[in-house]
Each structure stands twice: as C-alpha cells, then as structure tokens.
Structure 1
Amino acid sequence: MAVLWQDPPQEAAINRLVLWNIDLTLVDVAIVTRDAYAEAFRVVTGRPLVKLAPAMGRPDSEIVFETLAVNGIKAEDDHLPRFLSALAVAFADRRKRLTAEGRAMPGAKDALKAVAKLDGVAQSVLTGTIKSNAVLKLKAFGLDKHVNFDIGGYGEEVYPKATLLQVAQGRAKERFGTPFTAANTVLIGDSTRDVQAARIGGALMIGVASGRSMMGELREAGADLVLPDLSNASEVVAAVAGLTTPVDRKAG
C-alpha cells in the first residue's frame, strides 16, 4: 500500500514528534468498525456476535479478548491472531462505506496540514486500531498525506498504550536520529486514557474534547492543554509549538 509521507530534506532536522489518536479525535467510523467486528467474530467462532466490548480508548487486542469473554468464548492461543486477521479483511471489505457512514472530525484535515508546516515536525498515530485499519480510516477522508505510518503505534501490538508510546518514540529515533522524550513528543487525543498514556509514557498532552471525555475530565487527568475540538487549526499549531519550543531559562 502506497504511503504519501516523504521524509523532509536532509537539512530539515526532525525534532518534534506529534502522535495522534484516531477514533473520535480524527475520525468517527464506529458503525463500520462494529460491523467489521461482528463479521470477524463470526468467521473466527462460527457464532453471531451478541455483545461487543466497549472500546474506551483500548487497543483492538484487548477488545478482542474481552469480546470473546463476554460472549462465552474461552480464548485459545490462536484466537487473537486469527481475529485480528479476520478484522483486517472485514474492515477492508467495508472501506467504501467509511465516507458514507462515518465522518472526519471537524477541523481534522486542516489541523494535520497546519501542524505539518511546523519546523522539524513528524506526525504519526498512537492508536488502538490495527495498522491496516488505521491506514484505511485516514485514507478514506484524505487525512493520510501528512502521517508517517511507519513510526506509529498500533492495536495489534500487545502493549499498554503508555508502552506503545515509547515504542513509537523509539521508531522515530531510529528513523530520524533524534531522541524523543517528554520534552518534544506531543500526543493529541480525546480520552483520559490518552492522557494517562502520555503521563506514564513520557509525552506532552493536548486533550481534545470531541469524544469520550469532557474538557474538565481531560484537565483533571493531567492534560497540558485542552481544546474543545480541532476546528481552529491555528490554535492546534500554537498548542503544539508552545509545548515543544525550548524555554530560554536565561531570558529576562
């Protein structure tokens, strides 16, 4: 699958990493996702899906195990890889429904484009969605142009989200040669779980109250900045730039 991301010219050093949550931060495709889960469950178990475990910002790997459990299926060693494979196929089969039954979140496209213009920035995703489905979700709405999918963290990787954040930082360091820490990594997401991942994993956090959590909840959880949504691209850029610009301690 072709990826539109291209590394910047060699003289443009990458020294900012922006990681985006996907669902309810950049897109809302819940109807298609549920349908794909139902199909994958049927393929793997031979039974109809009665109850889908709530996402709540969790990775697909965790949702799969809970979904099997609440439907009375005892998980075996091969259940997870089989389910994730079936989920990828089921979601790809439904990709033409994404724009008809889903939506890009307000301002998402302009925000990604605007952040991409910041000096020294690389953008990727930190998501509970498996990689193939993450790519399809963003491509459906033209949100993939400024995203480097190779350095992201995804739902098939069985790590807590905070650890997955550190995995993404390591991939970015290997790609660009710059250490990424809590000083120059920003996570943008809509849930308190995202905030917890940033705090534990080592990143600055911009909460967006477009999904699971209210502005007050995001602030209370420890987000560095909270925005109502992504509709003001200049506000998003200012937030990323302000958090990742080194402060001259000698000034004044």
Structure 2
Amino acid sequence: MPRLVLWNVDHTLVDVGRVTREAYAEAFQQVTGRPLVRLAPTVGRTESEIIFETLAFNDVVTTEDHLAQFMAALGEAFTARRKSIRKDGRVLPGAREALAAVARQRDVVQSVLTGSIEPNAVAKLTALGLDKHLDFKVGGYGSETYPKAALVELARSRTAEKYGAVIADAATVLIADSANDVRAAQIARARTIAVATGNATEAELRGAGADVVLPTLAETDRVVRAVESLTTP
C-alpha cells in the first residue's frame, strides 16, 4: 500500500520571503491600482485567506472577481521573478537530502500540501532544484481555496486515482512548520512531522499535537525514521 508524504513549502523546504513580499506588492498594485501598505500574516494559511485579509487590511472593498484577479496577478509576478527566487531564495538545511532519502523508501509518493497557489509552489521548488522527487500533480494547493484539512483529503484522492491504490489515513504524513498545519493534518486524520524552521517553537508545535517534532530537517536519518515509524502499520 502506498504511503503519502506531503511537504509544506515555505519555511519547511524553502525561504523565499523577500520574493513573496515583492510579488504580493506587484499583484496588489495591478489589481487595485494602489500601493500595498500592509500584507496579512502568511504562516500556515492558504493564499485565498491571505489575499482577502490583505485587501481588507488595505481598505479595499472586495468583489467576487478580486480573488481570481489577484491569484492570476500573483502567478505572473512569481513567474517574472524566477531569477530572483534563485538569487534571493534559499533551500533550508537538510531539505534536499531529506527529499532524496524519503524517495528511496519503499512505496512512498511525495508531493506538496501548501497554501501557495500551484504555479507559485512549483516555481519556488523548481527554481531551487527541489522538484526531482515530488509529484506535483497529486498535491494540494491554496489556489483551490479549500481549508488545508480538505486539501489533505484532496491529495489522498488524487494519489489514489493516479496510482490505483487507496491511501490510508494512517499512511499519510504531513511535514510542516506551523501549528495551523498540524491542526489541519489532525482534522484530516494524517500524521505530522513538525519542524521548528518557521515562526513556531518546538514547544508550540508539540502543544499543537504534532506526532514528531524536529528542530530542522538537517538530520536526515531522523526524518526518515519519523516517516517510517508514522506510516508503517
């Protein structure tokens, strides 16, 4: 039976914060005709949540068209910054090695579970050379405007359809850095490996209920052992 390992992107695998802020500013200007003054908090949230709150923070009266327009503009802004992602973004310690090591395990499918819209998640990871072991087609993305817990279920169903096998709840693990992600995985009955590479401390991640908490992904063997122990019956 396949095991599904879902990776959060920002602050778990990569840090492209500067490029993200620049892209949001450009998209906001394009959609509203005004400069961006305040960006909503982004940690552990979907792009649709961030966009709507950012518009509200900047006193923009939203319409039904705003979300689609903003997502399209954000995708264009990231595409135009591919060189900036390589220049100003960084792969977090151990991320590359962890992806490769998990890929060598038996019956594992790896994908992403992220609040980013799909083209931006793909742009970040391909620009920084982390796409080799990830099946982007079965992931869950913020462009789908679902709560993250529902995105876990969506990723399961996509994986089952593509690979022709049911993905058990207990055979799904989310690797992420925020308490919001831990709670989403719990709702979806998935296991969680939390890494303290974002804003949350190890204590906060344990308090949220993560099954395993690591300081970083730098100790590859610990990552692999955690995946094995959480997904093997």
Q: TM tier, shorter chain?
A: over 0.9
One of 92, 112, 130 as aligned partner of 1:125: 112
User: Is 2:205 aligned against 1:218?
Assistant: yes
Residue aligning to 2:24: 37
User: Is 2:147 aligned against 1:160?
Assistant: yes
CA RMSD across the alignment: 0.8
Residue aligning to 1:245: 232
User: Is 2:133 aligned against 1:149?
Assistant: no
Q: What TM-score, normalized by structure 2, do the two folds share?
A: 0.98
Secondary structure of the residue that 2:116 maps to in structure 1? coil
User: Is 2:86 aligned against 1:99?
Assistant: yes
For 2:74, the aligned partner's letter is: L
Number of matched residues? 233
Q: Distance in 1 between matches of 2:137 and 2:126?
A: 15
Residue aligning to 2:222: 235
Identity in percent? 57
Please show how residues 190-229 of structure 1 align to structure 2 within 5 Å: 190-229=177-216
Q: Distance in 2 between matches of 1:102 and 1:222?
A: 30
Q: Distance in 1 between matches of 2:210 and 2:165?
A: 24
| More helix, by proportion | 2
5+ residue gaps, structure 2: none
Q: Distance in 2 between matches of 1:64 and 1:243?
A: 34
1:19–1:152 CA contact under 8 A, matched in 2 = yes
Q: Distance in 2 between matches of 1:56 and 1:134?
A: 15
5+ residue gaps, structure 1: 1-13, 247-252
One of 95, 120, 126 as aligned partner of 1:139: 126
Structure showing greater Rg = 1
Q: Distance in 2 between matches of 1:163 and 1:112?
A: 24
Structure 1 residue ranges (4+ consecutive) displaced by more than 2 angstroms after TM superposition = none
Q: CA deviation at 1:181?
A: 2.9
